[in-house]
Chain A
Amino acid sequence: MDFLRPSTLAEALAVKAERPDAVPIAGGTDVMVELNFDHRRPAALLDLTRIEELRTWTPGLRIGAGVPYVRIIDELGAQLPGLAMASRTVGSPQIRNRGTVGGNLGAASPAGDTHPVLIASDAVIEVASVRGTRMIPVDDFYTGVKRNALEPDELIVAIHLPPAPGPQQFAKIGTRNAMVIAVCSFAISLHPNEKRVGAAVGSAAPTPRRARDAEDFLSAALTWEAPKPLLDSVKREFGELVSQAASPIDDVRGSAAYRRHALAVMARRTLGWAWQEYLEGEQACA
């Protein structure tokens, strides 16, 4: 196995063009597990950790694909509360020190923790090759179980996300209280300026999935102009629609029926927290 260590993005893209079979590795928290268990035997590894551009973020926000979770939590928690909450649920401190959102996107596991947040907050994924740069809306990024829209010569360069325009929440079910792969997860993002809600489920379908009917229902049902406490019926209907957006399976981590049930509960609760925050914010402004 070749171990390729480019020090600039241009160099990395040239290598990837020449060696499309090279597997990119940043934190290595997915790739190394696959190698150690002999589930995968790439001809080459393309180490991205020397490329400074991938490890920085700039206001706006453009987050380098190689920024580890710990920095998202520490440095971007105020601007991107949803992404920080999801990052906080990834693995252990050691994993969060190394693992990256770019890696989450590269693996494209339906259980990846950051995906629902990226969907709910309309992220755009910047990918590049020697042929140029593409901006892929997150809705077009996930194409199947552990498959994404990357071409063989492309690398994930950055994630574009606006600072949260309103309250965001993320919740994830696991059968222990830390270091656990999602049984299912849910993210919600309020966009008060557009009077719109983003909502997405994780680990409950072949890909992370937007809960579009739930979004449409809630966007219309919320009283954006003169915020009032939510009716239980609204929360319940939203929970049901989120649950219906999923197509979960029975597996070793949980039953399909439990996943549907838990998604509805998480949707109701996170909506309650997000709306409460919005109400308090509005009252503070008034």
Chain B
Amino acid sequence: MTLTPAELTSAVSGGIGTSPQRPDGNLKVRGEFAYASDLWHEDMIWGATLRSPHPYARIKSIDITEALKIPGVYAVLTHEDVPGRNLYGLEHKDQPVLAVDIVRYQGEPIALVGADHPETANRAVKRIKVEFEVLTPVTDMETAADDTPLHPGGNLVRHVHIRRGDQNAEAEVVITGRYEVGMQDQAFLGPESGLALPAEDGGVDLYIATQWLHVDRAQTAAALGLPEEKVRLTLSGVGGAFGGREDLSMQVHACMLALHTGKPTKMVYNREESFYGHVHRHPAVLYYEHGADHTGKLVYVKARIYLDGGAYASSTPAVVANAATLGVGPYEADNVTIDCYGVYTNNPPCGAMRGFGAVQAGFAYESQMDKLAEALNMSPVDVRIRNAMTEGSLMPTGQKVDSAAPVAQLLKLVQDKPMPPPAVNDLRHMPGGVSNTTHGEGVVRGVGYAVGIKNICFSEGYDDYSTARVRLQMVGGELTAMVHTAACEVGQGLVTIMQQIVRTELGVERVTVLPMDTSIGNGGSTSASRQTYVTGGAVKAACAAVRAKLGDRTDIGDEVIDETVEWRHRATEPLDPETGQGNAHVQYGFAAHRAVVDVDTELGLVKVVQLDCAQDVGKALNPQAVVGQIQGGSAQGLGLAVMEEIQTADGKVRNPSFTDYLIPTVLDMPPMNIDVLELADPHAPYGIRGVGEPPTISSTPAIVAAIRAATGLALTRVPVRPEHLTNT
């Protein structure tokens, strides 16, 4: 049975603070949810992409003759066919829609084919002849800035430096370390897909799985040489995002084919192409030095951080700012010296992924805190509490943390959770699982702690807002509301949250959520843990405008109350370019984890036995969805800790498949005890604090700390591989 749209919008009940069932849940479990990859249109053609096999090469010639000869091929397009500006990018317009003269990463799009069948399109792609002059790729992030320039202006995308307090401070105890974070993938389950329909006005309608409709539209319109109003985007079913859909993938490509051929054009990446078709989490190399007194109190923190942005900038500048400004973690330190560099290389482009710079820094500073605890013979929890930030603390940027920062409380909560029972002789609970590698031999238990900090919403003076329209009218004798935004539901539950807010604000039971599209103003990105905050704030404000006209009436006859509101969170400031000082962030989120692991110390296999988390969310608008975010974020952090990495060699991806890019299964992700604190932020709607990212940050270092406790090894790189644990 397939649910009808009417049921989709009416299945939800309840206001904020309750957990009404999400409308897409049952459909997804039953495999009946319509994703963008299920889009279909009469007479549509299929697009396919020719991608570079080389990480760095000059294109000497492109010959499309043979591809065009294949029956069923409608178009073969190259950079010469890009109607508008052949450059796009979230922060710097440095990435071509289709490569011109040079390719800078393996998988870079070079040409497009539109054909009557996906197989025909794929065969035609193989008939396109490209002559390359292969160049030596730049692949080392630490030396890239001084290597062959890959873009005009060189390979340094951004350098943020923070200088705070005494730059020559000295300390009794000095801890240094070098850490590495591998390239993680968002691994969303629904690959890139969309359907472009040519319109009679010369424009195009694009149905698309994305995270940010309006920024897609601005970039797509510019590339197509069309005014924005002629490029209309509607959100289709999104199968996860985690940052990987913030950049363009096939948006412009599908529209180019549709406009060129006059035919509806569908593009769907398969899993392998998806690995080449979106940005990943920046790999990082981080050098840290912590100075502390004999009580464990931090005197200074120094860090030099390199983030590999790959071939194009994407959101590297903002990721650099996050890694730098959050580089000390949720701790007080009066004297801070941080240099954070984001660079171009010929590795796969990296950009947004859940945690966004805070994850990389978090692994390093938490590893340092454990080393400090060890040096002082303190417990890992005590050394953290000794330095824990509180409300009123100053960030390395000089910004005052002006709402709850319950860092010590979160640590104590996870510390006080009951410990799991000792290992039982059930293979499913052993390291290695049913692969039957141990019946207890070599297994050692370890416990580790970590806490993290994440900025919520967009920072550094960005005009971050959302637009919401709420319409109220009588339907069947009952007041009924409709809510419309362009804020993307990517699986996180925004549809449900918006309905809950409208119910609470207007006391209306029936709330319909309109499809998300660009016929209304910008909803901002579904990223930075910001949609409940910003779009939720906009919906709340639109409800207030409606309420002002409604008064205390329960029957408005034929009247229609229709209000659209643009809502902003409080403004932020850019960082001072010399000192890195400034009120750059809107809000801070905190989570702490305790991980308990069993490590087969002989084979280097890990079973995470229990992963407990405490997080402050300000106010849980939908408690079940909050817990879901914490579980999911923790699982993604577990993946980075012990298995998830896009491995590259000389700029080439070695494992572009779910066969060898492993994500946690139900036998890898343990049960969690979760404490949700609701310490309201007076600056935020309902006091809420963004939920999605903080649990991803502390999960990884807690697990690695537990593995260190079990093995006594230093473990300075994630993901931790069996080779690291067995010295092989």
Name A residues whose Cβ lies closer than 8 Å to a Cβ of B. 36-38, 85, 88-89, 169-181, 183, 252-255, 257-258, 260-262, 265-266, 269-270, 272-273
Contacts and interface: CB of A to CB of B under 8 A. Distances in A.
B399 interface: no
B662 interface: yes
Given A37-B270, A255-B728, A257-B728, A88 B434 contact: yes
A129 to B, nearest CB: 32
A258 B728 contact: yes
A172 B655 contact: no
Given A169-B436, A176-B643, A178-B434, A37 B722 contact: no
Interface string B433-477: 111111101100000000000000000000000000000000000
Contacts of B643: 175-176
Contacts of B432: 171, 173-174, 177
B437 A181 contact: no
B726 A258 contact: yes
A140 to B, nearest CB: 28
A200 B728 CA distance: 22
Contacts of A252: 647, 654-655, 660
A95 B441 CA distance: 30
B437 A173 contact: yes
B604 A258 contact: yes
A175 B662 contact: yes
Interface in B554-604: 602-604
25 contacts: A37-B272, A38-B122, A88-B434, A89-B434, A171-B436, A173-B437, A173-B603, A174-B435, A175-B605, A175-B642, A175-B643, A176-B643, A177-B433, A177-B435, A178-B667, A180-B662, A181-B659, A253-B660, A254-B722, A254-B723, A258-B722, A262-B603, A262-B604, A269-B438, A270-B436
B700 to A, nearest CB: 16
B668 interface: yes
Taking each of B431, B607, B654, B668, which has the highest tally of chain A beta carbons within 10 Å of its own beta carbon? Answer: B668
A265 B442 CA distance: 10
A175 B437 CA distance: 12
Contacts of B642: 175-176
A172 B603 CA distance: 11
A174 B604 CA distance: 10
A85 B436 contact: yes
B665 A89 contact: no
Nearest to B273: A37
Contacts of B438: 269
Given A173-B605, A175-B722, A252-B654, 5 more contacts: A88-B434, A175-B721, A180-B435, A254-B723, A266-B437
B177 interface: no
A89 B432 CA distance: 10
Which 6 A-B pairs rank lowest in CB-CB distance, beginning with the nearest?
Answer: A177-B433, A258-B728, A257-B728, A178-B667, A177-B667, A172-B435
A262 B662 contact: no
Contacts of A183: 722
Interface string B711-728: 000000000011100101
Interface residue SS majority, chain B: loop
Given A177-B667, A177-B668, A262-B603, A89 B726 contact: no
Nearest to B437: A171
Nearest to A89: B435
Interface of B: 122, 270, 272, 428, 431-439, 441-442, 602-605, 607, 642-643, 647, 654-655, 659-660, 662, 664-668, 721-723, 726, 728
B403 to A, nearest CB: 39
B728 A261 contact: yes
Nearest to B429: A177
A240 to B, nearest CB: 15
B661 to A, nearest CB: 9
A177 B433 CA distance: 5
A20 B643 CA distance: 41
Taking each of B433, B436, B642, B723, which has the highest tally of chain A beta carbons within 10 Å of its own beta carbon? Answer: B436
A270 B439 CA distance: 10
A168 B722 CA distance: 26
A261 B603 CA distance: 8
A142 B666 CA distance: 34
A36 B722 contact: no
A215 B668 CA distance: 35
A283 to B, nearest CB: 19
A166 to B, nearest CB: 17
A256 to B, nearest CB: 9
Given A89-B436, A261-B726, A176 B668 contact: yes
Given A252-B655, A258-B728, A176 B665 contact: yes
B626 to A, nearest CB: 27
Contacts of A38: 122
A26 B665 CA distance: 26
A30 to B, nearest CB: 11
B640 to A, nearest CB: 13
A266 B662 CA distance: 23
A263 B604 CA distance: 13
Contacts of A272: 441
B270 A36 contact: yes
A172 B721 contact: no
A286 to B, nearest CB: 25
